[in-house]
Chain A
Amino acid sequence: MQKIGALISNNRRFIPLSATVALFFIAYAFGAISYEGMRDPQVFLNLFRSSHYLLISAIGMTFVMLTGGIDLSVSGVVALTTVASAALLREGWNPWAVMLLMLGMGMALGATMGAFITYLKVQPFIATLAGMWFARGMCFFISDDAIAINDRVYRILGMTKILVPGLADPVTKKGDFISILVIVALAVLAVAIYIAHFTRFGRTVYAIGGNEQSARLMGLPVNRTKMLVYTLNGFCSALAGIMLSIYVLSGHGLYAQIFELDVIASVVMGGTMLSGGAGYVFGTLFGVLVNTLIQTLIQFDGRFSSWWIRIVIGALTLMFIGVQSLLAARKTRQLASRKMTSQAKGAIAPAPLAALRNRQMLLLGGGAIIVIVLAVLAINGAQNAARGSVTNISTPTSAACQLKPFRQDQAASLMKAGAILAYERNGGSSCIDELYSVYPDGRIVGDDGTKKIEKQVTPADVDKLLSDINDKGWFTDEMYDTWHTPCGQCYGYYLTVSYKGQAKTVKAVDGGTDAPANYWQVVSTINGVIPHFAP
């Protein structure tokens, strides 16, 4: 027993990290028990598949926060990278050149902010805030709208499935997979861990976070290291932007809104203290995973709007901060009373007990919120498990706007009656429900439940539309159903396409990043063709 105690106290610095890892596994186990769908290994792999860019950005942010600083510009740089890449690719630039240029741009921005922080002694908060505004503003100089990316290299990078050995059948090419981007993210993670623990630069980062003044007095290159840290984060932000643009195959200035909060929350949950000096890059991985897992859990449950995600993340962050300060307070108290001899001649300065109590209350408060949330989810999960179904795709129930069920039967009968494309869109802020049908002779009919409108295009246009949709992989495994509870302004989509003898229906809802990227391209193409109802 004593040996275990000694083991724990010797490795006390790993406690926050262990807490995050434990939380991850507990939450995952909980999800697997409650929701049948979560037992699919692909769900676990999907955690990585949808969070690779968050991980890269969080890795860069970890270094910044280890020095005790902060970088709010990441969302701006990410967005700028996506837009700039998309624009350059549209002009026909070589994709590798584009990527290199973007990385250089990110580093330049990072270095500029770093210079302000290090040499002009500007607060990191303000300097990086300015950087974010600047970067996001620059986005719109390039383009107002989203720009689609059609480059072959990007598509290959984004859409290649790498089958996981052991979980997939290489012959039939079916099974659980991850993408190239995940491999890149994990590689970056490995490099980052190496840098943090095996290079002088990394160790100086930790020293600065521990006590910047001491680090200077110890003769460490503090200024140079701080500059490098912000440059490195600029690199990571740009890389994250590249990966995001590959993932969604487009670029837009509105992407990655409030992204920096997710990044910071992930880093904090990964065990890195906001004051710097303590934390592990490896922990950031788990912080990101927990973040993504929470989103997944809430989506799987289906009953909670996605805004619960924000609340849970906030509560978790609070709890982690509480844990951190509690541990820190405990340490100073023990230190004060720990002497070389066994008999202590009175503590030097007993830690203020009031502050300790407050921190404990904090911890309890955050913990209470978590427990309540988990309890509610558990109750729901039990009900779901009893019911047997998990996600109810065919009848989207959103209290948002009394979302009507999809008019599947009507769509089916339209298809039978000769339509080659049936497109339904419902929801949104104006609470619409529009069903469009496209016929081979060029007729397009729109039906919003009360009235009908018509538009005539040429049969050739219809053919082109269909072959476009086919080229985007409509009839492949790349196009699959996704669903989650829509936000207040989001639409649900139900789209059936018939082409050369095959018919396929795919449903999705916007407001998330889980739907296949090409789906949105198809939708936007269709939106460009159909007639519009008068407001």
Chain B
Amino acid sequence: MTQSKSSFTWRKITESKLFFPFIALALILLFDLIFIPRFFALTTQEGHLYGNLVDVLRNGSCVMLLGIGMTLVIATGGVDLSVGAVMAIAASVAAVMMNPVIIGLKLPPNLMKFINDPNFTYSPLWAVILVTLIVATICGLWNGLLVAYGRIQAMVATLILMIAGRGIAQLITNGVRIQIFYEPYAFIGQGWIVLPFSLYIVAAVFAIAWVLTRKTAIGMFIESVGINFRSSYFSGIDEKKIKLLAYTFCGFCAGVAGLVASSNIKTSDAYNIGLTFELDAILAVVIGGTLMAGGRFSLFASIVGALVMQAITTSMYAIGVPAFALQAIKGVVVVLVILLYSEQVRGLLHRITAQKGA
């Protein structure tokens, strides 16, 4: 009785975590195929790929990044509501590092005239990125300490940073929407290497997360803690450290997302950056099949979940649905997802497929 040899039974596919999200994505793409001509058209200009599909990938980068970190947090049985605020903090830190005049730093006159020059930045790019990510990771650490060691409910603990975080971001930039002129920074969100550069960033973070969770024992421990922390404790797993890691990593991902978002709009808009993104991220993870109570997770399924959300958005835009209607549609999608994932429906579907595959 070793590992099951027959990998491609119908049963295995339907029971896989990826099944539902892929079906959802397929349905949306099918809808696009039928109703939106040219949705799948791809053109190349100046060596870049363009098209609605590429838009989906590019605009979904932030949510994909958040979703990676959020997956780990939700898998431990918690949630992180503060990721949007952390994005704002990250953006503010980056902007201030490149352009500290705003916070009152007096630059010598020979530097002042460069302040709007696209080639000028007060701090070198690597320092900007490094410091920003460190700050974001510290935010995640803060959340982790509150949840794992302070034993505060996750929703409550991260709510605090969600409320105060935007204030902190505003404080860093003194309430100003700092314009970022530095070109290389803009490359993060707007650059292209055949595909949008942000996708490579997503892939890199995904790779880090995948190695961290599947090539070490961390992934299994996270799942174990999420399913039954008592048994995990008995088996020698330190629940606190695992949760701390999850929240810290989520903060890191939010920092990367903040860099991408702010470089996309070339400002640090502390009020608006990442607003409601936490909700999109949570939904992406839920669509990806991770239960909010914690347990088994799949990073890839969460990515697909994020793509589902983004595909809906892009498809609606392509049809011509006005921006505001999108929110209402998102609400409907949530309802459908809930119904689809609810115990009753899932049980029904499994029974049908079980009869087929048995």
Which A residues fall within an 8 A CB radius of B? 70, 116, 120-123, 125-127, 129-141, 144, 253, 257-258, 261, 264-265, 274-275, 305-311, 313-315, 317-318, 321, 325, 355, 358-359, 361-362, 398-401, 429, 487-489
Contact = CB atoms under 8 A, between A and B. Distances in A.
Given A129-B334, A307-B166, A311-B171, A123 B292 contact: yes
B150 A358 contact: yes
Contacts of B227: none
Interface of B is mostly: helix
A362 B338 contact: no
Q: Which of B79, B165, B176, B343 has the most CB of A within 10 A?
A: B176
Contact of B325 (A140, A309, A310, A313): A140
Contacts of B177: 429, 488-489
A308 to B, nearest CB: 6
B170 interface: yes
A120 B334 contact: no
B334 to A, nearest CB: 4
A400 B152 contact: no
A134 B325 contact: no
Interface of B: 79, 104, 146, 149-153, 155-156, 159-171, 173-177, 270-271, 275, 279, 282, 286, 292, 322-332, 334-335, 338-339, 342-343
B147 to A, nearest CB: 11
Contact of A133 (B149, B150, B327): B327
Given A133-B330, A137-B328, A137-B330, A311 B164 contact: yes
B96 to A, nearest CB: 13
Given A137-B324, A137-B325, A261 B334 contact: no
Contacts of A399: 104, 174-176
B149 A358 contact: yes
Interface of A is mostly: helix
Nearest to A315: B164
B305 to A, nearest CB: 14
A126 B292 CA distance: 10
B120 to A, nearest CB: 20
Contacts of B79: 125
Given A144-B324, A275-B153, A311 B167 contact: yes
A138 B328 contact: yes
Contacts of B330: 133, 137
Contact of A137 (B151, B282, B327): B327
A80 to B, nearest CB: 10
Given A70-B155, A137-B324, 13 more contacts: A116-B335, A122-B342, A130-B331, A131-B331, A137-B331, A253-B324, A265-B163, A305-B175, A307-B167, A307-B168, A317-B159, A325-B151, A325-B152
A157 to B, nearest CB: 29
22 contacts: A70-B155, A116-B335, A122-B338, A129-B282, A130-B335, A131-B331, A134-B331, A137-B329, A138-B328, A139-B324, A261-B163, A306-B175, A307-B166, A307-B169, A310-B163, A314-B165, A317-B160, A325-B151, A362-B146, A362-B150, A399-B104, A401-B176
A92 B271 CA distance: 36
Contacts of A275: 153
B301 to A, nearest CB: 17
B83 to A, nearest CB: 15
Q: Which of B149, B165, B171, B324 has the most CB of A within 10 A?
A: B324
Contacts of A129: 279, 282, 334
A307 B176 contact: no
A141 B328 CA distance: 9
Nearest to A317: B160
Contacts of A361: 150
A189 B162 CA distance: 28
A309 B338 contact: no
A120 B340 CA distance: 11
Contacts of B167: 307-311, 314
A140 B327 contact: yes
